[in-house]
């Protein structure tokens, strides 16, 4: 009985140790990657946002909606390989009457695990080649409580996104990161002089400066941004002074968007957490216990058998 039990425990030990190794070095790395076939629509809304209306050359205030349509280029990603996903994203911002006030298209390759930009594969913004740096669409899997560099489309460079604690969104615990972008020159434009209050009838040169305070609420296991908030403040400066507001206000993920993200990524985060944190040590621990106990039972049974085999036969009883 001891030999049979020992053999069962040794077999179970081998199985559990293999499972622990598979979970750590194969299953988790296989699952903790951004998809190649991404296809999502993200919506941000902003109330009472001030913007520069190019049609009337005046500042206006309205409710706006920004829609981001993201699609993965599966064929290009597979062709390049090296754990790289190539996503294209179209962004359009509209006013309450549907007028488009800004639009952007970008193509961005990034590492499927770290979420860091990769310089390859015709990366561009509106057709202009761009060297993306830092994080692009999301945070890395198993995001840490530290500062990350996150790319900003307006300034076309990465800025620090600083970890600033946890928050709860619809029952989901998330990490919060804050990115503060100081006023940065992004363009120089030629506009009618009346726009900046100068003598009408001429064209003048103005500098466009952009600043922002962005907040990212991240599910840490998947690195997915569950909610984002933007506080853009763009101005046109004439002769060194702020003359016109280009964009100013607060926009954030629509409430329905946040709930959808929670419903989708809360269970995925739990699965990855169990696979990363619990399965390897538990399987390894139980496997080692089974290995020790099974080995002892098997050794004891072997010694007992050897003892029975070498024990001297009893001498016959003496006769009178």
Residue at 301 is within a domain: no
**Residue 319 pLDDT > 60:** no
pLDDT for res 199:
86
Residue at 51 is within a domain: yes
**Residue 62 pLDDT > 90:** yes
**Residue 238 pLDDT > 80:** yes
Return the sign of the alpha-carbon dihedral for residues 178, 179, 181, 187: negative
The mean pLDDT value for 143-165 works out to 97
pLDDT for res 1:
55
How many residues are listed for the chain in this entry? 320
Residue at 47 is within a domain: yes
**If pLDDT is split at 50, 70 and 90, which confidence band does 3 have?**
confident
**Residue 15 pLDDT > 70:** yes
Lowest mean pLDDT of 84-98, 149-163, 191-205, 223-237, name the range: 191-205
Residue at 270 is within a domain: no
For residue 281, give Cα distances in angstroms to 10, 250, 288, 293, 314.
Answer: 18, 45, 10, 18, 52
Backbone angles phi, psi at 72, to 5 degrees: -85, 140
Lowest mean pLDDT of 8-17, 205-214, 253-262, 300-309, name the range: 300-309
For residue 15, give Cα distances in angstroms to 25, 48, 128.
Answer: 15, 61, 54
Q: Give dist(CA 168, CA 257) in Å, integer.
A: 15
**If pLDDT is split at 50, 70 and 90, which confidence band does 310 have?**
low
**If pLDDT is split at 50, 70 and 90, which confidence band does 320 have?**
very low
The mean pLDDT value for 1-29 works out to 88
pLDDT for res 49:
97
Residue at 61 is within a domain: yes
Residue at 228 is within a domain: yes
Per the structure, the complete domain to which residue 167 belongs is given by 32-253
Q: Any idea which residue has 């399965």 for tokens? A: 279
Q: Provide long-range contacts, Cβ within 8 A and 24+ apart, for 177-180.
A: 177/139, 177/148, 177/150, 177/215, 177/216, 177/218, 178/213, 178/214, 178/215, 178/216, 179/150, 179/152, 179/212, 179/213, 179/214, 179/215, 179/216, 180/212, 180/213
Helices of type H across the chain: 2-22, 28-31, 74-80, 255-273, 279-310
Residue at 64 is within a domain: yes
Question: Radius of gyration over alpha carbons of the chain, in Å?
Answer: 31
Answer yes or no: are the C-beta atoms of 41 and 68 closer than 8 Å.
yes
**If pLDDT is split at 50, 70 and 90, which confidence band does 317 have?**
low
Q: Give dist(CA 165, CA 159) in Å, integer.
A: 19
**Residue 268 pLDDT > 50:** yes
Residue at 261 is within a domain: no
Number of domains in the chain: 1
- Find the helix packing angle between 2-22 and 279-310, rounded to 10°: 150
Lowest mean pLDDT of 124-128, 226-230, 313-317, name the range: 313-317
């Amino acid at each position: 009985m001891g030999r049979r039990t020992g053999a069962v425990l040794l077999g179970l030990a081998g199985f559990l140790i293999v499972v622990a190794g598979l979970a750590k070095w194969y299953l988790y790395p296989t699952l903790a990657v951004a998809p190649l076939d991404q296809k999502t629509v993200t919506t941000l809304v902003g109330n009472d946002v001030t913007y520069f209306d190019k049609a009337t050359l005046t500042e206006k205030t309205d409710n706006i909606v920004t829609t981001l349509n993201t699609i993965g280029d599966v064929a290009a990603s597979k062709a390049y390989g090296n754990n790289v996903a190539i996503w294209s994203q179209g962004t359009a911002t509209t006013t309450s009457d549907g007028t488009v006030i800004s639009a952007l298209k970008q193509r961005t390759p990034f590492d499927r695990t770290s979420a860091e930009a990769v310089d390859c594969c015709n990366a561009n913004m509106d057709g202009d080649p761009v060297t993306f740096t830092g994080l692009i669409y999301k945070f890395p899997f198993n995001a840490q409580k530290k500062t990350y560099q996150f790319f900003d489309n307006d300034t076309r460079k990465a800025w620090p996104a600083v970890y600033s604690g946890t928050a709860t969104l619809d029952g989901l615990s998330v990490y919060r990161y804050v990115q503060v972008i100081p006023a940065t020159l992004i363009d120089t434009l030629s506009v009618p002089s009346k726009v900046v209050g100068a003598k009408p009838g001429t064209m003048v040169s103005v500098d466009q400066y952009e600043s922002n305070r962005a907040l990212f609420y991240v599910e840490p296991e998947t690195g997915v941004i569950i909610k984002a908030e933007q506080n853009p403040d763009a101005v046109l400066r004439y002769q060194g002074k702020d003359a016109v507001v280009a964009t100013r206000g607060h926009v954030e993920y629509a409430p329905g968007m946040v709930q959808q993200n929670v419903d989708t990524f809360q269970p995925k985060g739990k699965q990855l957490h169990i696979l990363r944190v619990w399965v390897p040590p538990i399987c390894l621990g139980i496997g080692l216990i089974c290995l020790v106990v099974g080995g002892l039972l098997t050794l004891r049974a072997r010694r007992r058998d050897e003892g029975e085999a070498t024990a001297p036969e009893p001498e016959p009883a003496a006769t009178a």
